[in-house]
């Protein structure tokens, strides 16, 4: 659970918390498998923020073991399909695309998957929340006369939190991309408002 008392105690003791996925957990948990909705890949980073984690670990992005390698006689992706049933993590764990966010292209050129692009968006979501949190702390440290309006500061503090509409638990979270888009838009708007009255980030 993201709300685990153990995690909270370790953070309070000064330990850093990272999150991690691999060939597990499987649905209904979010992961990076091909047959999961793209929102699952992105919501993982909202859950990482929700847990108070400062890092996210993933074991490989280009584990090509078991896949035919491109050659003069072997057509390669995207001209030929990637058969995930030949991939070693599928053979071992029955997971589609675990450790395979980048595909081998012609001359071994790395080709990003759509999942990798969605993961990028999730990382940017996390960074938006981290930036907003820093700006809130800077704004609260200003003399009262120079602080943003109280309602703006309160809105900013509220937006630093991951709402239950995005992630109620590690197995109960949104599948609606518009929920993520709208929350990120709101966070971005308040970042701009705070940044306009604060010294620039170093």
Q: Is residue 161 part of a domain?
A: yes
Q: Is residue 127 part of a domain?
A: yes
Chain segment 23-48, per-residue pLDDT in tens: 999 999 999 999 999 999 999 999 99
Q: Is residue 80 part of a domain?
A: no
Q: Is residue 119 part of a domain?
A: yes
Q: Is residue 92 part of a domain?
A: no
Q: Are strands 18-21 and 55-58 parallel, antiparallel or unpaired?
A: parallel
Chain segment 127-185, per-residue pLDDT in tens: 999 999 999 999 999 999 889 999 999 999 999 999 999 999 999 999 999 999 999 99
Q: Is residue 36 part of a domain?
A: yes
Q: Is residue 83 part of a domain?
A: no
Sequence-ordered alpha helix ranges (H) in the chain = 5-12, 38-50, 88-93, 114-140, 150-159, 177-195
Q: Of 118, 122, 198, 101, whose CA–CA distance to 167 is shortest?
A: 122
Q: In sequence order, what are the residues at sequence separation of 6 or more whose Cβ sits closer than 8 angstroms to the Cβ of residue 99?
A: 22, 59, 60, 61, 62, 63, 89
Contact yes or no for 39/180 (Cβ under 8 A): yes
Q: Is residue 35 part of a domain?
A: yes
What pTM value is reported for the model? 0.91
Determine how many CB atoms are found less than 10 A away from the CB of residue 186. Answer: 15
Q: How many structural domains are present in the chain?
A: 1
Structural domain for 22, as ranges: 5-59+115-195
């Amino acid at each position: 659970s993201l709300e685990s008392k153990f995690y909270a105690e370790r953070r309070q003791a000064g330990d850093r918390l990272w999150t991690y996925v691999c060939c597990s957990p499987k649905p209904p948990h979010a992961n990076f498998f091909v047959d999961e909705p793209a929102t699952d890949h992105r919501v993982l980073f909202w859950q990482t923020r929700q847990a108070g984690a400062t890092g996210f670990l993933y074991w490989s992005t280009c584990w090509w073991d078991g896949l035919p390698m491109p050659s003069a006689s072997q057509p390669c992706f995207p001209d030929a399909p990637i058969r995930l049933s030949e991939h070693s993590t599928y053979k071992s764990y029955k997971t589609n695309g675990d450790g395979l966010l980048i595909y081998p292209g012609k001359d071994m050129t790395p080709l990003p998957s759509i999942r990798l692009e969605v993961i990028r968006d999730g990382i940017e979501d996390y960074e938006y929340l981290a930036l907003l949190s820093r700006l809130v702390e800077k704004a609260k440290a200003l003399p009262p006369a120079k602080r943003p309006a109280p309602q703006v500061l309160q809105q900013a503090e509220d937006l630093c939190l991951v709402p239950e509409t995005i992630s109620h638990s590690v197995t109960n979270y949104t599948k609606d991309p518009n929920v993520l888009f709208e929350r990120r838009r709101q966070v971005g708007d308040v970042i701009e408002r705070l940044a306009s009255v604060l010294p620039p980030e170093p």
